[in-house]
Structures are given as structure tokens and as C-alpha cells.
Amino acid sequence: MKPTVRPSFVRAWPCIASDFSTFFLRLPPPPLAHARNIAQIRHRRIHSSLSPPPPPPLLASSPPSVPPPLFLRPPKYTTTVADLLEWHSWAKSLAASVGSSFEDSDNGPDSRLLCRELNWLMEDVLDGFDPSLMHKAVARDDPDVIVSSRADVQELYRLWKQRIEERRPFQYIVGCEHWRDLILCVREGVLIPRPETEIIVDLVGDVISKDQGLREGLWADLGTGSGAIAIGIAKILGDYGSVIATDLSPVAIQVASFNVERYSLQEKIEVREGSWLDPLKGVEGKVAGLVSNPPYIPSDDIGGLQAEVGRHEPRLALDGGAEGMDDLLHLCNGAASMLKPGSFFAFEVLLFIESPPSS
């Protein structure tokens, strides 16, 4: 169990482009004459809630095919402080050797961020991580003190080599990402949720606080990935409303279901597999709110992404076709048939803002 939430902005490494925006529009009651279209640019922020409730335990019935993140594994290994410190000092020097080379080549993490990740890895791996105990053991010249851990030291060497040499994202190494007040399990094949996307849940919170119909209505998160948006919305809906979370990727469906179950939201969120609006058959014209963070990177830009993203995150989650607009346009064309009058539609998109030519 974690005592505090790590601010997700410092754990984020993406920078696939400079500006992310969320567009939302509210369909007015018919006739649909004056739909508003508002763009907002979001900067990463520190969460205000510093002491959220601890995450719920892993449920026995969770799908076994999703490997549990490190912090949920039982602390069944033991290691000496000496071995741990030896690994830590090796890992730290590997991180230091990176300097700003990743940053210079593709805006990747620099040594400082990697060292911070190393501390988070220690937090996730050690049972009741307390750096002062380690320091005391060293000060007492008692390096044989035993600590319990959730991975053996050999695995830690392997994981950190993957982080630095293969640029495997930290979130896939530890198997989770901190997002809003949630700790979401992630693995290869599922997009790591980004801080920018939190604004969609904030916008939904805003509209449901003013509109009972929206609060009690049916919501849909299309392309749910880890289930981040769907879970965020379900939590703010509280005792009202319900959510359908969909994805084309079977891995995403598994991971989203795992996360939904971990937060005991199975009664509130139905996870459905299928392409975009197809899984909403049967609820045409009944959806109160539709949200999506679809793939929106132009195909030709994928090769230039930060290595953590381009080499490791699923192309299905990134590639939005030649202009990056294929999925967005598909959703915009089809959304109206799903939404009921007075409903809400929001999606995330990438804006390229050209600077005016300098005179």
C-alpha cells in the first residue's frame, strides 16, 4: 500500500508534441443549432489530493493474464541491504551515464528523471520502503540486515537494463501508472495514460455537477485503453449513471477489466470489445456523454517519437492515419447517432500551432 500519490506529471515522459487539447461540445436540445466547440490547453499539474485512500487490494478473481504490477506482488523475496545497495549504486551510475543524451536525441528522460524513477522502483519493490533504515544499516556497518522485496535482485538488474538500454517505459517496468487519484495497471499493448487526458474527466465532473440528466445518464469511453477515463468518470458519477468502456484491442480489454475490477466498479462500468461505435449497438440515441482519446499521431510521425513511445507503446493506440484525423473524423461523424438531446461529447486531439513568421 502506498502512503502517498506520486505526482503523475513528473512520471510522465511523453512530449510527443507540444500541445494537447481537449475539445468538447454539448449537444443542445433539438434543433441542434448552436453546438459550442471549445479548445483548452492543459499543462501538467500537481494533484491537489496528497493523501488519497490507499488503492484496493488485488482481487482473487482478477484475470490471471494481466501480470500484477510490482507494488501488488507479495513481498516473497528477501535480500540483504548490501546486495540492494550494490544494485542501487550500479543502477544509479547507469542512469547517470545517460546524461542528457536521450533528451537531446528524442526528448527522452535525462539522468535526473531516471534517478527519480529509480527511487520509485525502490518504493514499489521494497515492502515498507524506508530509506532511513537502509542508511542506519550502513551507518551501523550492518549490511547483512535483511529486507523483504517483491522482486529478487537479479530481476532488478534485468528491469533496470531494460529501462536504460531498451528504453522500456518505466510504467511498463513497474506495471502501473499514477493517474489522478488512481493507480492503474498497465502493460505492453496498452497505452500508458497521460496527465493531459485527465482534463476529460475534469470536464465531465464540471458538466455533471450542473446537470442531473447527465449525472444519471449513460456514458461511453471509446478506446478506453487501461480504462483510465472510464474509471475516472465512474468514480465521479458516484451512485448515479453508468459507463460503457470499449476498445478494439483484446489486451486493452483485459487490462481495463482488471483495473475496473480492482476498483470494484464492475457494477458501474461495462467493458465491451469492438471498433469505435460498434459496441454501442443497442444504445443508439440513449448515450448522455461520449468521450474518447483516440489515436491522433499522423502515421509518418510515429518513427520520430521518443523511443519509449515509438518502440514500446501500441501502434494501434497512436497511429491516427495520414493526417492523424482518421479516428477522430470517424467518431465525429458517428457520435450524433449515439447521443441523446442535451448530451455531451469530448475528445482529445493534438494541435500543431505554427508560430507567426518573425518580422
Ligand X SMILES: C[S@@+](CC[C@H](N)C(=O)[O-])C[C@H]1O[C@@H](n2cnc3c(N)ncnc32)[C@H](O)[C@@H]1O
Stretch that binds ligand X, among 99-107, 124-132, 217-225, 281-289 (CB under 6 A): 217-225
The three-class DSSP label of residue 297 is strand
| 232 contacts ligand X (rule: CB under 6 A) | no
Q: How many residues bind ligand X (CB under 6 A)?
A: 21
| 223 contacts ligand X (rule: CB under 6 A) | yes
**Residue owning grid cell 501500441:** 314
Are 317 and 295 contacting, i.e. CB atoms less than 8 angstroms apart? yes
Are 219 and 287 contacting, i.e. CB atoms less than 8 angstroms apart? yes
CB of 193 to ligand X, least distance (A): 4
Stretch that binds ligand X, among 97-105, 208-216, 245-253, 258-266 (CB under 6 A): 245-253
Interacting residues of 147 by C-beta distance below 8 A, sequence separation 6+: 78, 79, 80, 81, 84, 126, 127, 133, 134
| 203 contacts ligand X (rule: CB under 6 A) | no
The footprint of ligand X on residues 272-311 (CB under 6 A) is 275-276, 293-295
Give the residue with the Cβ less far from ligand X, 118 or 320.
Answer: 320
Can you tell me which of 12, 214, 317, 350 binds ligand X, judged by CB under 6 A?
A: 317
Give the residue with the Cβ less far from ligand X, 217 or 294.
Answer: 294
Tell me whether strands 182-185 and 176-179 are parallel, antiparallel or unpaired. Answer: antiparallel
The footprint of ligand X on residues 154-193 (CB under 6 A) is 191, 193
CB of 120 to ligand X, least distance (A): 20
CB of 275 to ligand X, least distance (A): 4
Give the residue with the Cβ less far from ligand X, 70 or 191.
Answer: 191
| 224 contacts ligand X (rule: CB under 6 A) | yes
The footprint of ligand X on residues 335-354 (CB under 6 A) is none
Tell me whether strands 38-41 and 77-80 are parallel, antiparallel or unpaired. Answer: unpaired
Amino acid 143 reads P
| 225 contacts ligand X (rule: CB under 6 A) | yes
Give the residue with the Cβ less far from ligand X, 44 or 92.
Answer: 44
| 248 contacts ligand X (rule: CB under 6 A) | yes
Give the residue with the Cβ less far from ligand X, 261 or 327.
Answer: 327
CB of 239 to ligand X, least distance (A): 24
Strands (E), the chain: 19-26, 38-41, 77-80, 146-149, 176-179, 182-185, 218-222, 242-247, 269-273, 287-292, 339-351
Stretch that binds ligand X, among 15-23, 63-71, 149-157, 240-248 (CB under 6 A): 240-248
Give the residue with the Cβ less far from ligand X, 164 or 248.
Answer: 248
Can you tell me which of 81, 137, 218, 252 binds ligand X, judged by CB under 6 A?
A: 252
| 259 contacts ligand X (rule: CB under 6 A) | no
Give the residue with the Cβ less far from ligand X, 115 or 248.
Answer: 248
Q: DSSP characters for 203-224?
A: HHHHHHTT-HHHHTSEEEEES-
The three-class DSSP label of residue 23 is strand
CA angle 328, 47, 43 (to 5 degrees): 45
Q: Cis peptide leading into 14, omega within 30 of 0? A: no
- Based on its alpha-carbon atoms, the radius of gyration of the chain, rounded to whole angstroms, reads 22
Cell of 80: 540483504
Interacting residues of 105 by C-beta distance below 8 A, sequence separation 6+: none
Going by C-alpha positions, the residue among 270, 271, 284 that lies closest to residue 343 is 284
Give the residue with the Cβ less far from ligand X, 219 or 276.
Answer: 276
Integer Cα distance of 99 and 77 in angstroms: 32
CB of 44 to ligand X, least distance (A): 15
| 197 contacts ligand X (rule: CB under 6 A) | yes
Integer Cα distance of 282 and 132 in angstroms: 58
Going by C-alpha positions, the residue among 84, 26, 21, 35 that lies closest to residue 217 is 26
Q: Which residues bind ligand X (CB under 6 A)?
A: 191, 193, 197, 223-226, 228-229, 246-249, 252, 275-276, 293-295, 316-317
